[in-house]
Amino acid sequence: MTFRSCGLRLGFLLALALALGAAAAADAEVRLERMTSPELRAAIAAGTTIALIPIGGTEQNGAHMVLGKHNRRVQGLSERIAHELGNAVVAPVLAYVPEGAIDPPTAHMRWAGTISVPEPAFEALLEGAAASLARHGLRDIFLLGDHGGYQAALERVAARFNRSAAARGGARVHALGAYYRASQSGFAATLRAQGFADAAIGEHAGLADTSLALAVDPTLVRRDRLGRPARPGERDGVRGDPQDASAELGAAGLAQIVSASVQAIRAQLRP
């Protein structure tokens, strides 16, 4: 073997090793429920300080989109955010959230399949989860809420927890409003700049919402039911027009949400 061929071979092996290392880093497990207790303890000892608590909801999304849209979306986005941060783990998704009164039904509870819980129970659950994560050594716990109805509750949970931070070893809870704003007003502005009207973009299960779902997992959407509403306004639980939704549009929205969330988390961690 010549010196030149030996050098080429070494160069190839080095490139291969770097590629495999990058792939391994990208595939590193960030889901808390898929880790063992010693694995989590080792991750914390190695510098993992952030826990993300993804919060979804089980609610109607019209005839074309599944009830668990929020849960699947916040799970995938939280994992992408954790990989981008490099020192975070993702707690299990909270799928049971306030969705309106049960009897008589209000808000999304007016449609079959929605599951609602009282706000005090919801907030207590989040506080317990955050306290548990803090007890294990995670220092900054971020609440990522995919649904607009409970954003104020997340702020209250963070405020109450942080008032007692001294008793919890200095851990902090953050309600990551930037995550929700990017998925709503931020993505809507991007779609508007591409010529889509607000009436199509919508506020619930419209163009924006459906495009994000298609980008996360196409099986969340029943494409054969993406009909244009016969009249403006709310129809079958939909506010917007999902007919022109696409995974391509949604992919840009997902990237926007991840970028905004990572920037906001890093900004909040600065001394």
The conformation of residue 137, written as its DSSP 8-state character, comes to: T
Domain contains 125: yes
Domain that holds residue 43: 28-269
Examine residue 212 and state whether it is found in any structural domain, yes or no. yes
Distance CA 81, CA 114 (A): 28
Cβ contact 51:133 at 8 Å: yes
Residue 47 lies in a domain: yes
pLDDT score of 2 more than 60: no
Quote the number of domains for the chain. Answer: 1
Is residue 24 pLDDT above 50, yes or no?
Answer: no
Q: What is the pLDDT of residues 74-88, one digit of tens each?
A: 999 999 999 999 999
Residue with tokens 């429920």, as numbered in its chain = 33
Q: Which pLDDT tens digit goes with each residue over 85-123?
A: 999 999 999 999 999 999 999 999 999 999 999 999 999
Quote the percentage of the chain above a pLDDT of 90: 80
Q: Is residue 9 part of a domain?
A: no
Structural domain includes residue 121: yes
Distance linking the first and last C-alpha atoms of the chain:
56
159 in a structural domain: yes
Task: Look at the alpha carbons of 150, 155, 158, 161 in this order and tell me if their dihedral is positive or negative.
Answer: negative
Determine contact, residues 71/79, Cβ cutoff 8 Å: no
Residue 13 resides in a domain = no
pLDDT (tens digit per residue) in 206-224:
999 999 999 999 999 999 8
The helix/strand/coil state of 263 is helix
Q: How far is CA 72 from CA 192, 212, 213, 270, in A?
A: 25, 11, 8, 30
Q: Which SS3 state, helix, strand or coil, does residue 102 take?
A: strand
CATH of the domain at 76: 3.40.50.10310
Is 18 inside a domain boundary?
no
